[in-house]
């Protein structure tokens, strides 16, 4: 079922952080930011990004590295392009299904969902090249948002959408299984991949992030991956016994004066709600 939501660029809330069984109250103000990338400069007041001699953003994190989008598992990841206005990252989870964030599909100006005909998915995109492409037949978006119709850290676990593709491109490039693993604990190594705003033409990944804490009864989690606009919908991966699985997708950045961290929707929330 589709529910109405209204996005704002910055959401200010007071956060209660749950770390395992321990609850610690953050007294400072916490800001949460959705990480889809607007392509309209007037919409997000974006500026030309200054690159250094390496061709990287001056503040580009050393932990993030470019990966070959034609190789596994990166070939199952791509860009979700919406109405020529913005994009998010997304990941193939079946032959004809892509998982991304719900807030990427919301038209804030018209206060309605974008139509499926305005959305398309480009698998393994890199500098204008790609391995597969499909338009969207329909999509299923979750949503339990606050009284203002916004996504916040209480409702982040519902910030997911499944795109139903017109073509079975997952048979061409492959797709990743959703994980419902309960054995991943705080401190375990995870990986994040996505199309960051400072490298939108290539897929980059951080392979040495840490899971910080499970939230919302295991339907969301905090992590230490470096994130920026464009990462929204990017898969957070867990490799076990040589097999890659999607542990969740990036949704928001949360930060206080003292620290900042990523917040993801857990795959188990998607699997439970989409049955």
pLDDT-derived band of residue 57, with 50, 70 and 90 as boundaries?
A: low
Q: Answer whether residue 270 shows pLDDT above 50.
A: yes
More confident call, 42 vs 236: 236
More confident call, 4 vs 248: 248
pLDDT at 73: 97
CA distance 110 to 43: 14
- Enter the pTM of the model: 0.78
CA distance 119 to 136: 6
Whether residue 204 contacts residue 65, with contact meaning beta carbons closer than 8 Å, is answered with yes
- pLDDT tens digits along 131-159: 999 999 999 998 665 555 567 888 899 99
Torsion, Cα 172 174 175 181, to 10 degrees, reads 170
């Amino acid at each position: 079922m589709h529910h109405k939501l209204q996005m704002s660029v910055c959401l200010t809330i007071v956060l209660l952080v749950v770390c395992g069984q321990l609850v610690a109250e953050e007294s400072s103000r916490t800001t949460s930011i959705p990480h889809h990338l607007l392509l309209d400069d007037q919409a997000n007041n974006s500026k030309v990004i200054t690159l250094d001699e390496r061709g990287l953003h001056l503040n580009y994190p050393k932990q993030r590295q470019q990966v070959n989008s034609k190789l596994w598992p990166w070939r199952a990841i791509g860009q979700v392009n919406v109405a020529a206005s913005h994009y998010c990252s997304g990941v193939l989870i079946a032959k004809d299904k892509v998982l991304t964030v719900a807030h990427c599909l919301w038209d804030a100006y018209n206060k309605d969902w974008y139509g499926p005909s305005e959305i398309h998915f480009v698998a393994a995109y890199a500098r204008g090249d790609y391995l597969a492409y499909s338009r969207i037949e329909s999509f299923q978006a979750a949503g339990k948002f606050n009284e203002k119709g916004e996504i916040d850290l209480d409702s982040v676990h519902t910030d997911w959408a499944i795109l139903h593709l017109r073509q079975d491109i997952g048979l061409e490039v492959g797709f990743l299984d959703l994980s419902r693993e309960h054995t991943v604990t705080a401190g375990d190594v995870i990986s994040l991949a996505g199309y960051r705003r400072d490298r939108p033409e290539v897929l980059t990944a951080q392979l040495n992030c840490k899971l910080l804490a499970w939230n919302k009864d295991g339907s969301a989690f905090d992590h230490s991956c470096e994130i920026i606009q464009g990462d929204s919908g990017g898969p957070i991966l867990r490799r076990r016994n040589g097999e890659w699985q999607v542990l969740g997708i990036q949704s928001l950045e949360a930060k206080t004066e003292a620290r900042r961290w990523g917040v993801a929707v857990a795959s188990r929330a998607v699997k439970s709600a989409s049955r």
